[in-house]
Copies of this chain bind each other. A is one copy, B any other.
Amino acid sequence: MSYARQMLDTYPRTLNVDVGMLAAAIDALSDCAQACNADNAADLGEPDVTEMARCIRLCLDCVDVCTATAGVISRQVEYDAGLTRPLLEACVAICRSCGDECERHAHMQHCRVCAEACRRCERACRELLDALK
């Protein structure tokens, strides 16, 4: 069981969603940030980095947005739709763009793994968004 899940079991929230779904989103966001950081590093080591410039840029955006969102939803004791909804929408958007770009060069194993992390994170954020409606 991840720390996110263990922690969510220890204190009350008014963010009225299933604790398993919330923990899954936090885990997917952390994992996606980790994968994008690593993919980025791997892209920078490729023989033709110019070819990877867009992938690097999207991975960097994905790290920034996923890290911020993980922080914010970990703190959402009190639900603030005005903040949480657009933030999750931004996550869905960047995970999709970054996942698409990584899939375009899935012949590189690091991009294939990263695409998978982005897809999983996109799905988890979308599910949380739907549950918050």
Q: Which residues of A contact B (CB under 8 A)?
A: 2-4, 6-12, 26, 30-31, 33-35, 37-42, 44-45, 47-50, 52-54, 56-57, 60-61, 63-65, 67-68, 70-72, 74-75, 77-78, 80, 82-83, 86-87, 89-90, 93-94, 96-97, 108-110, 113-114, 117
Contact = CB atoms under 8 A, between A and B. Distances in A.
A97 B79 CA distance: 12
Contacts of A50: 47-50
Contacts of A72: 61, 64-65
A71 B68 CA distance: 11
The 10 closest A-B pairs by CB, nearest first: A7-B38, A68-B68, A82-B93, A86-B86, A64-B68, A86-B89, A3-B35, A49-B50, A10-B110, A86-B90
Contact of A68 (B4, B57, B65): B65
Contacts of A38: 3-4, 7-8, 26, 74
Contacts of A35: 3, 7
Q: Is the interface of A mostly helix, strand, loop or mixed?
A: helix
A42 B11 contact: yes
A45 B77 contact: yes
